[in-house]
Amino acid sequence: MSKTFNLFISHSWTYGNEYDRLINLLNEKKYFDFKDYSVPKNDPIHSASNQTELYEAIKKQISPCHLVIILAGVYASYSKWIDKEITIAKKEFTIPKPLLAIKPFGNDKVSLSASEKADQLVNWNTESIVAAIRDLCK
């Protein structure tokens, strides 16, 4: 029986296509089960009345996760919430959550912040991504 991986995928809603492509890629991988704890653009979590409430809501989403994935396009360097999600993963739990950074599809430019803080950086390739998830979630 295969393990189900609880994943939080940090992404910019402005670049939601990458998020959608990653979900499709993972869904198509045979013998790989995951549950997505990410915050999609239409999630009611966005109705938080202030930044602190939103931070706590995201922390609650990340809490059951085995791994936080960062879609590491250069836009990630300019997103304060992606930085906050990284901080939550690394500093808000007794056991820090591992971080996997994925280079954007067809692009070599990555967020320096995301790549420096990640436990592993991989190319946009199904086998590389799934192998890294399995490795980081041991």
Residue spans per domain, the chain: 4-136
- Within 8 A by CB and 6+ apart from 84, the residues are 55, 58
d(CA 49, CA 27): 34
Q: What is the pLDDT of residues 85-127, one digit of tens each?
A: 999 999 999 999 999 999 887 766 777 777 888 999 999 999 9
pTM of the entire structure? 0.88
Q: What is the mean pLDDT of residues 33-40?
A: 89
pLDDT, position 83: 85
Q: CATH topology for 4-136?
A: Rossmann fold (3.40.50)
